[in-house]
Amino acid sequence: MYRFYINNVDNDYHYDALARVFFGDDDFEVITINTPDAEHLALGDNSYMVNSSASDSRDAIKREFYYLLSDLTGIKSDWGTLTGVRPLTIALGILDKVGNLAEMQQELANKYLVSEEKIQLLTDIANYQLNHLKGNPSDKSGVYIGVPFCPTRCAYCSFASNVAGPAAIERYVVDLLKEIEYMGDLVKEHNTVIESLYMGGGTPTTLSADQLRRVIIAARDSLGVDPAKLEFTVEAGRPDTITADKLAVMRDLGISRISINPQSMKDETLKLIGRDHSAEDIRNGYRLAKQYGFDVINADLIAGLPEENLNDFKASLEEVIDIGANNITVHTLSVKRGSRLKDKDPDYYRRNEEMVADMLRYARKRLSEEGFFPYYIYRQKHQIGALENVGYCKEGKHSIYNIRIMEEKQTIIGLGVGAIGKVYYPDENRLERIPNVYNYEVYSERIDEMLDRKNKYYE
């Protein structure tokens, strides 16, 4: 057990997060202290003092701590001292201050110790967003509608996802329609302009064609949006939930964006992670979606899945490109609390770091060759190698919703189980969370409370 004493700080959060990049959760302890005599304190074995000079600069303290951690472990993190979910927010904040990309890059390297590779990635994403997004994001709102059901639960999943019978799903739909309609009255009363709408989960296409129709029509009519003119995305992530009648419902109502998420195109991996379908089912889902004329089809792939090697990942990526995905998100596996993989092997995320880094490098190079651009990025706790998730798209096929949710400068209205709404206050540059409950049975029991919470968006 290593003990790190961080002097002249009151909160250990940032330093604890940085230590986790280098050590397992049970291998270290961060202890905050405040003393002018830190350099003279007697320390035990495997105990270290950070910031004995009592600096007030958090960034300087984190740099000192980073170098100590790197010396102890021999590890060099490409993200330097950055540990947060949104590294692009830091980069864009610097850009707004200094006014040019070269100085932004220099500050990322010197102040945050970010590697040249990741600085270039952030630069490319910043360029894409600056070239494709205009106007003030806070003038409009996004909407998220959660459908917390899947055919089976994946081994790495910690989302609001459940396997439920037809009666339970129908009860949920009835209550969800109430919430959509209630929010619609508020949206119209306050003249809220909706910029994007995203149906996620779970897997929304677990619903029947009729249930999908009812939810989409309720969103259209209650929120006053036109799915044919708005960025309206429906996750059809599991190919075993995709049918011609569901695709027809979405197409006929004007929706042109869906996600069909393989995660892997290797049958053995799909079985291992708890997916009850084959790679051929994924191929069939794409063929069917293209027949129905969807303009944007997103695919998710995960680098670092159990028992996969670099060649497996390369093969999955090549096939996803070949079958026609024009918006591809490459995730680094995150072993989250609440997932079966976390319960089975809590330290899985600490292995295969170099191989997974090679997977991400290959994806960036190969997708660039195929005309894809990186357009958004985020990181999560317990990701292999403390690496990242990056969304790539063909020109103009980006997701505004994905960008806004990471940008955190727009109100996102959350509807349904697991939805976490966020109200943005531009004058204060802050967000206030308005969460719904995480369990579909509790949601139905407390639906009146969920409706009442919607009023908070306009308080």
Q: Is residue 431 part of a domain?
A: yes
What is the pLDDT, as a whole number, of residue 154?
A: 59
Q: What is the secondary structure of 350-418 as a DSSP string? A: GS-HHHHHHHHHHHHHHHHHTTEEEEEEE--TTBGGG--EEEEEETT---HHHHHHHHT-SEEEEESTT
Q: Is residue 356 part of a domain?
A: no
Most confident of 26-40, 261-275, 357-371: 357-371
Residue 349 scores a pLDDT above 70: no
Whether residue 95 sits in one domain with residue 62: no
Residue 156 scores a pLDDT above 60: no
Residue 341 scores a pLDDT above 90: no
Binned at pLDDT 50, 70 and 90, residue 252 comes out as very high
Whether residue 120 sits in one domain with residue 140: no
Q: Is residue 330 part of a domain?
A: no
What domain range is 37 assigned to?
A: 2-73
Q: Is residue 320 part of a domain?
A: no
Whether residue 459 sits in one domain with residue 417: yes
Q: How many domains does the chain have?
A: 3
What is the pLDDT, as a whole number, of residue 133?
A: 93
Binned at pLDDT 50, 70 and 90, residue 113 comes out as very high
Averaged pLDDT, 171-177? 97
Among the candidates 27, 51, 73, a domain finishes at: 73
Q: Which residues pair with 3 in a beta bridge?
A: 29, 47
Q: Is residue 51 part of a domain?
A: yes
Whether residue 183 sits in one domain with residue 92: no
Cα 61 from chain centroid? 28
The pTM for the full model equals 0.93
Averaged pLDDT, 186-213? 96
* CB neighbour list of residue 252: distance below 8 Å, 6 or more residues apart: none
What is the pLDDT, as a whole number, of residue 273?
A: 85
Residue 4 scores a pLDDT above 80: yes
Averaged pLDDT, 176-202? 96
Residue 313 scores a pLDDT above 80: yes
Q: Is residue 266 part of a domain?
A: no
Whether residue 213 sits in one domain with residue 145: yes
pLDDT tens column, 121-143: 999 999 999 999 988 999 999 99
Averaged pLDDT, 64-73? 97
Encoding tokens for residue 378?
A: 């985020």
What is the pLDDT, as a whole number, of residue 24?
A: 86
From CA 26, how far away is CA 1, in angstroms rounded? 8
Residue 186 scores a pLDDT above 90: yes
Residue 158 scores a pLDDT above 60: no
From CA 378, how far away is CA 330, in angstroms rounded? 11
By the 10 Å C-beta count (0-12 exposed, 13-18 middle, 19+ buried), 81 is classed as buried
Among the candidates 132, 166, 200, a domain finishes at: 132
Phi then psi for residue 160, to 5 deg, are -75, 80
Contact status, residue 203 vs residue 237, Cβ threshold 8 Å: yes
pLDDT tens column, 270-295: 988 888 889 999 999 999 999 999 99
Whether residue 140 sits in one domain with residue 238: yes
**What spatial distance separates the first Cα and last Cα of the chain, rounded to whole Å?**
48
Tell which wins on pLDDT, 396 or 155: 396
- State percent of the chain over pLDDT 70: 95
Averaged pLDDT, 254-266? 94
Whether residue 249 sits in one domain with residue 145: yes
Binned at pLDDT 50, 70 and 90, residue 344 comes out as low
Binned at pLDDT 50, 70 and 90, residue 347 comes out as low
What is the pLDDT, as a whole number, of residue 108?
A: 98
Mean pLDDT for the chain? 92
Whether residue 28 sits in one domain with residue 140: no
Q: Is residue 173 part of a domain?
A: yes
Angle at 345 between CA 342 and CA 349, to 5 degrees: 75
CA 298 to each of CA 86, 109, 201: distance values in angstroms, whole numbers, following the listed order? 21, 33, 15
Among 26-40, 108-122, 152-166, which stretch is predicted with the lowest mean pLDDT?
152-166
Whether residue 155 sits in one domain with residue 249: yes
Among the candidates 48, 73, 98, a domain finishes at: 73
Whether residue 252 sits in one domain with residue 157: yes
Q: Is residue 308 part of a domain?
A: no
Among 117-121, 149-153, 251-255, 415-419, which stretch is predicted with the lowest mean pLDDT?
149-153
Whether residue 164 sits in one domain with residue 123: no
Whether residue 93 sits in one domain with residue 60: no
